[in-house]
Chain A
């Protein structure tokens, strides 16, 4: 059974710091992995999608990497800003024949001005 874990559960950093959020999954046979952002009480915004054949994806100050063999993904945020404060969720799609994403419980990030 696929399980997704995110560490740390919460993180508080001063503005301008570079930071790394971690995601691990128990079954390396995944189809793809997505990172999402969720503001309090709101829906999810997709940040980056990495296919199983890819090693990383970049969008602006965000870079996500994927190491399937070790069951790990990291989300790197460069030069953090107070507007980056949110919960970041990692989700894996177990295989091409399944339709669901399995989510971690998220990392709650607070960037201090």
Chain B
């Protein structure tokens, strides 16, 4: 069974740039959630995708967007980067939808630094 993988591991960008982060979900999982974790804080929910549709969104501006592909892998795109976007971005996969997405399996994260 393949776990959740994320790429790249680390990324450095400058303010105003755009970034794309990638996630491959665990085998058999059709739901992907993205979280932002600032240093010393708990993860904050960005959004969730189920079968290629956005399925719930947290309190993040529209410049945070995503995609899910037919193989259930996912991308997180952030436009017009700000210094406060510097964080660890975590992807989590699970099976089912809504009430049935219980245990989430997290990837190792992508560390984004915005200068």
Contacts and interface: CB of A to CB of B under 8 A. Distances in A.
Interface of A: 4, 31-32, 34, 36, 41-46, 49, 89, 91, 96-106
Interface string B9-26: 000000000000000000
Q: Ordered nearest first, which 4 A-B pairs have the shortest CB separation? A: A103-B42, A99-B56, A100-B45, A96-B99
A102 B88 contact: no
15 contacts: A41-B88, A42-B109, A44-B90, A46-B105, A46-B106, A96-B99, A99-B55, A99-B98, A99-B101, A100-B33, A100-B45, A100-B56, A101-B104, A102-B45, A104-B42
Contacts of B55: 99
A49 B101 contact: no
A74 B102 CA distance: 19
A32 B109 contact: no
Contacts of A102: 45
Contacts of B33: 99-100
